[in-house]
Amino acid sequence: MTQFKSELLITLEERGFIKQISKPEALDARALEGPITGYIGFDGTANSLHVGNLTMIMVLRIMQKTGHRPIALMGGGTSMVGDPSFKSTDRPMLTLDDINQNLVGIKSIFAQFLEFGNPDDKNDPKAIMANNADWLCELNYMEFLRDYGVHFSVNRMLSFEGVKNRMDRDQHLSFLEFNYMILQGYDFLELNRRYGCDLQIGGSDQWGNILNGVELTRRVDGKEVFALTTPLLETASGQKMGKSEGNAVWLNEENLPAYDYWQYWRNTEDADVGKFLRMFTELSITEIEKLEKAQGAELNDVKKILATEVTKMARGEIAALKAAETARITFETGGLSADLPSIEIEKSEIESGLGILTALVKAGLASSNGEARRHIKGGAVRLNDQIVKDERLTLMLEHLNEQQVVKLSIGKKKHMLIKPV
């Protein structure tokens, strides 16, 4: 194992962010020479990033914290194609308007984690936000094929695991998607030319795509650049990071309230606490090692620390502390906090009688009447902290409490206030 000397790679390694490096000793030496400019791409397939993207965001943050220059590359161009890596089906096609609207939401997230500067000033050490639509949408197809297509081996591209899996299962892989890896390789070359970018970072499923860019930059411009990948992150139970009961755990407030975001991290599996403290907080390794020794009730307190620290970065300190206090009031005192997630429903709808199954679906506590019915049969549903046994129960105005809301719960951890308007 390489014994790194640069603060960048030492930090990435001790925090659990390194899976592969194309030339580890050379990259380490390069990081010691002076600031490295490195990039990670984010496609605009939704109007927010989710917890599954947080690994990449934290790597960019570590780059900046250790004196290097990160680039958050918005995939305005590549989002029109779609990355086929480890996807069993074609991605749905998005219009350019859809993509641009999604990128607006994504850009707002980065302001919480990175400090951006002037991308045109090569002496400005602050982060850069770029959009590959700026060059990909301007390419002349015939010239592009002539100048760069010759540098890509179809045989090698077919050997990449994500592509090979699709073909082995006889699943459709369009020529459009197949072009994605060529475009990603060209992104690296273009960013090297524009900003002196000499490092691309991605998940380990992107290793082949990133190496394409490394080789293209060397062959076309004679530049030595580097690839670094992070482990694909799953929970101890094998669940993909960023998913909670089938729903993405979004990073922006519009898609997921701060309380729900805090609660996701509070519910971390015991075996993942230490790993997540390293990867998603900025507590010192010494402090984390002390927290890792906690057991029993003390471990629950450590999970609260994890939830608050992670929420601080994504939503700000005020939102994180408010979420923690809301949880304390709800779970430890049995009280009702006005800061619990809420949904507004027409008062007339409640006056005429709102079925409990419909209410659970409207509140987002169940995806269907069938799921709501199963929760009731399992004794998991509570109305104002009282167990609901009758699936035919109808919510009426008489169910409003002193705060003029109705509290619906699934189990002990999922709550929603219904507010008549």
Candidates 257, 271, 264, 259; CA nearest to 241 is 264
For residue 245, pLDDT over 60 is answered with no
How many DSSP H helices and E strands does the chain contain?
19, 15
What CA–CA distance (Å, rounded) separates 37 from 5?
Answer: 18
CATH 3.10.290.10 location in the chain: 342-420
Q: Where in the chain is the domain with CATH 1.10.240.10?
A: 257-332
Q: Let me know if domain 7-230 sits in CATH 3.50.50.60.
A: no
Q: Where in the chain is the domain with CATH 3.40.50.620?
A: 7-230
Per-residue confidence at 329, pLDDT binned at 50, 70, 90? confident
The string of pLDDT tens digits covering residues 61-71 is: 999 999 999 99
Mean pLDDT over each residue of the chain, to the nearest integer: 86
95 vs 388, more confident: 388
For the domain made up of 257-332, the CATH class stated in words is mainly alpha
Token pair in block for residue 240? 């993909």
Among 285-289, 302-306, 326-330, the minimum mean pLDDT is found in: 326-330
CA separation, residue 224 to residues 22, 67, 77, 229, 243 (Å) = 11, 21, 25, 17, 37
What is the average per-residue pLDDT within 2-24? 95
Determine contact, residues 378/384, Cβ cutoff 8 Å.
no
* Alpha-carbon gap, residue 34 to 10, rounded angstroms: 15
Angle at 334 between CA 328 and CA 340, to 5 degrees: 60
What average pLDDT score do residues 85-93 get?
A: 50
* The two three-digit tokens of residue 42, written as one number: 């984010």
pLDDT value of residue 84: 47
Query: Which of 134, 106, 151, 105 has the alpha carbon at shortest distance from 195?
Result: 134
Provide the sign of the torsion angle of the four alpha carbons 285, 290, 294, 299, taken in this order: negative
Which whole-number Å values give the CA distances from 31 to 10, 187, 318, in the listed order?
11, 22, 36
d(C-alpha 357, C-alpha 408), whole Å: 11
β-strand partners of 250: 50
Q: What CATH topology corresponds to 342-420? A: 3.10.290
Q: What is the pLDDT of residues 277-298, one digit of tens each?
A: 999 999 999 999 999 999 988 9
- Long-range contacts: 343-348, Cβ < 8 Å, 24+? 343/416, 343/417, 343/418, 343/419, 344/419, 344/420, 344/421, 345/418, 345/419, 345/420, 345/421, 346/420, 346/421, 347/397, 347/420, 347/421
Distance in angstroms (rounded) separating the CA atoms of residues 369 and 14: 47
